[in-house]
Amino acid sequence: MDTISEEKKICFIFCVNNENEYNKALGHINKLDVPDDYDIEIISIRNTESMCSGYNSAMKKTKAKYKVYLHQNVCILNKRFLFDVIDLFEKHSELGMLGVAGAARLPKSGIWWKSSAPYGKVVQNRRGKFSVLRWWEVKGEYKIVDAIDGLIMITQYDVAWREDVFKKWHFYDISQCMEFKKAGYKVGIPKQTDPWCEHDWSTTVQNKGNYEEERKIFLKEYGNYL
């Protein structure tokens, strides 16, 4: 693959264990407007040990400049999503990663939604009951933040996911934000007139034991950065 085609390639990356949710997400990707001369690639990872290991595996399989890491239960609603993301990345080379919800100031707990400065918005679907989760509004083109939620993470640079530290399903996202910042890149949330994404919580199961375990691991690894 030549450099030009790699620069104009967008790869959507999933860790999959629910084919129905995955197929619904793919249906929305197939409806997106695609810029001229750009190619779309889909990589789905199954039977992975953790989000970090799955995402690292996928990252190594593609040479696409732009990568969209998203949960299988996330549908992209903004048909101009690719245009909006590429425009921001081309204007701001320092911007390494984008998300749709997160915290400008990550609290000492490491839990982004308990921040005193949460930003973004997302449509929430709970068994067919829809609502919009709204935090603070982004005023400019994008807001620089400490952390974004892992429901969707869009990158224009490759930074390894910390599978050596996070071996399950939590805090991989906040860790990756720390790693991007350590690499010298900014993490941001774009201005969204309407929510760009829908997150389906109908079948989501939270393992609170694993969550708390990985939160403590996160604080041990990155506590000095908070």
Mean local confidence (pLDDT), 39-63: 97
Q: Give the mean model confidence (pLDDT) for residues 166-185.
A: 97
What is the per-residue pLDDT across 91-132, written as a single tens digit (0 to 9) for each? 999 999 999 999 999 999 999 999 999 999 999 999 889 999
| CATH number for the domain harbouring residue 182 | 3.90.550.10
Q: How many CB atoms lie within 10 A of CB 145?
A: 27
Measure the CA–CA gap between 123 and 208, rounded to whole angstroms: 23
Average pLDDT, the chain: 95
Partnered with residue 143 across adjacent β-strands are: 189
Residue 209, pLDDT above cutoff 90 = no
- The span from the CA of 169 to the CA of 55, in Å, is 11
Rounded Cα gap, residues 158 and 67, in angstroms = 9
Question: What kind and span of H or E run contains 23?
Answer: helix 19-29
Quick check: helix, strand or coil at residue 196?
A: coil
Is residue 2 over pLDDT 80? no
Kindly state the helix (H) or strand (E) to which residue 163 belongs, with its residue range: none
CA angle at residue 111 from 109 to 117, to 5 degrees?
100
Q: Rounded mean pLDDT of 176-196?
A: 98
Q: What per-residue confidence (pLDDT) applies to 203?
A: 66
**pLDDT bucket at 171, cuts 50 / 70 / 90:** very high
**Beta carbons within 10 angstroms of residue 155's beta carbon:** 25
- Bridge partners, 119 (sequence order): 102, 136
Chain segment 130-160, per-residue pLDDT in tens = 999 999 999 999 999 999 999 999 999 999 9
Number of domains within the chain: 1
Its domain, for residue 168, covers 3-225
Q: Is the pLDDT of residue 172 over 80?
A: yes
Q: Ramachandran region of residue 47, left (φ > 0), alpha (ψ -120 to 50) or beta?
A: left
For 117, phi then psi, to 5°, come to -140, 70
